[in-house]
């Protein structure tokens, strides 16, 4: 038996189990698929129980569990979007016509930014939405959609240096707007001062 297993209290386990229905409802909203929602709920509960020592007494357990669920969903979404699709071919498929013209335009968005924004806490969402438009677009494309600087430059039709500048300034504004929120969420120490 592991040391962590001994320290986990039945009360903590009961608190996690009491929130399973709520976690499933949120997972279903995110995945839009009952099987995926069940898997996401189960993975969230397993992680919560496994990392019970990370839970600080006095913290709102519902928010803690939703954070685990959201992070698990985002990580799985990213892993799936990077994984190549497998298609079984029968040999009867027709081959699409090959275009002789190279596509040099910006790529279509990988996902709807609005869907990704829905995964964020309200404070973070409001901070991003308050950024000037060019900064906001660059930050969303880089940090939420995982576009490369070159892809962002192509999509925004601006030089690479401009993208880097917009990202730096946009992220700096976000840090300033979210410092109190980050301290409240214990992401950064309470005595942290940006230098």
Q: Is the pLDDT of residue 157 over 90?
A: yes
Burial (CB count <10 Å: 0-12, 13-18, 19+), residue 57 = exposed
**Angle at which helices 61-82 and 34-50 cross, to 10°:** 120
* Least confident stretch, 34-38, 112-116, 182-186: 112-116
> What pTM value is reported for the model?
0.42
Domain with CATH 1.10.10.10 in the chain: 113-184
Q: Is the pLDDT of residue 2 over 50?
A: no
Please provide the CATH number assigned to the domain covering 113-184. Answer: 1.10.10.10
Give me the chain's average pLDDT, please.
77
* Residue indicated by tokens 């430059």: 153
Q: Is the pLDDT of residue 37 over 60?
A: yes
Give the per-residue pLDDT at 82. Answer: 65
pLDDT band at 143 (very low <50, low <70, confident <90, very high): confident
Contacts of 107 (CB under 8 A, 6+ apart): 151, 154, 155
Domain with CATH 1.10.1740.10 in the chain: 9-82
Better pLDDT: 89 or 168: 168
Please provide the CATH number assigned to the domain covering 9-82. Answer: 1.10.1740.10
Q: Is the pLDDT of residue 64 over 70?
A: yes
Task: Quickly list DSSP for 54-105.
Answer: GPPTTS-HHHHHHHHHHHHHHHHHHHHHHSPP-----S-PPPPPPPSS---S
Q: Check if the beta carbon of residue 131 is closer than 8 Å to that of residue 169.
A: no
Give the per-residue pLDDT at 42. Answer: 92
* Least confident stretch, 3-12, 22-31, 58-67, 113-122: 3-12
Contacts of 171 (CB under 8 A, 6+ apart): 139, 143
């Amino acid at each position: 038996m592991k040391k962590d297993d001994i320290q986990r209290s039945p009360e903590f386990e009961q608190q996690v189990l009491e929130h399973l229905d709520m976690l499933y409802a949120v997972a279903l909203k995110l995945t839009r698929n009952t099987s995926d929602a069940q898997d996401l709920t189960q993975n969230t509960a397993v992680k919560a129980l496994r990392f019970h020592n990370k839970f600080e007494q006095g913290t709102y357990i519902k928010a803690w569990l939703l954070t685990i669920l959201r992070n698990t969903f985002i990580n799985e979404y990213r892993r799936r979007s990077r994984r190549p699709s497998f298609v079984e071919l029968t040999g009867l498929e027709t081959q699409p016509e090959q275009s002789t013209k190279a596509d040099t335009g910006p790529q279509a968005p990988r996902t709807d930014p609005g869907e990704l924004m829905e995964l964020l806490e309200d404070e973070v969402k409001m901070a991003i939405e308050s950024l000037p438009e060019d900064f906001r677009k660059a930050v969303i494309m880089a940090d939420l959609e995982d576009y490369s600087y070159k892809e962002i430059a192509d999509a925004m039709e601006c030089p690479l240096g401009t993208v880097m500048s917009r990202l730096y300034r946009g992220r700096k504004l976000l840090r300033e707007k979210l410092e109190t929120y980050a301290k409240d969420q214990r992401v950064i120490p309470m005595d942290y001062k940006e230098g």
